[in-house]
Amino acid sequence: MAELPSLDEFEISPARLSELLEENPEAIRLIDCREEDEFALCKIEGAELLPLSTFAESGGPALLSDESKPAVIYCHHGMRSLQTTMFVRQRGRADVWSLAGGIDLWSQEIDPTVPRY
């Protein structure tokens, strides 16, 4: 059975996330922090859009207040999602990780049907 990374880690690998989603897709809140136009191009099934550009105003409070399940945040290559993960953790939410390599690495390693851009 796959496990989430320790709370000392800030990232989760595509392979580990894939295992967790296969075991129980409802157990993790999957958040895409890219912008709407990027989300329209491609997304990971089950993800919700909380753009980084509006995160502090809308997405952050929503994520901070809903601690019902752990969250994985992703972007294109993993930089924005890592910033977002750190933002959320600095505000007291520990069970949040960034998808290493973002949706681009997800497409390469897990699901080649997800378009790359």
pLDDT for the residue numbered 58 = 74
Write the single-letter amino acid at 20: L
**Helix, strand, or coil here: 91?**
coil
Residue that the structure tokens 């290559």 belong to: 77
- Give the torsion sign (CA, 4, 54, 106, 39): positive
pLDDT for the residue numbered 103 = 98
Q: Sort residue 49 into left (φ over 0), alpha (ψ -120 to 50) or beta.
A: beta
Round to whole Å and give the CA distance between 40 and 20. Answer: 25
* pLDDT exceeds cutoff 80 at 105: yes
- How much is the pTM? 0.94
Q: Which CATH superfamily is domain 11-109 in?
A: Rhodanese-like domain (3.40.250.10)
Question: What are the tens digits of pLDDT across the range 43-99?
Answer: 999 999 999 888 877 767 777 777 789 999 999 999 999 999 998 899 889 999 999
Round to whole Å and give the CA distance between 94 and 35. Answer: 24
- Residue 41 has phi, psi (to 5 degrees) of -70, -45
CB of 86 within 8 A of CB of 10? yes
pLDDT for the residue numbered 5 = 96
pLDDT for the residue numbered 18 = 98
Question: What are the tens digits of pLDDT across the range 4-32?
Answer: 999 999 999 999 999 999 999 999 999 99
CB of 110 within 8 A of CB of 18? yes
Q: Please tell me the total number of residues recorded for the chain in this structure.
A: 117
pLDDT for the residue numbered 59 = 64
pLDDT for the residue numbered 55 = 80
- Domain borders along the chain are 11-109
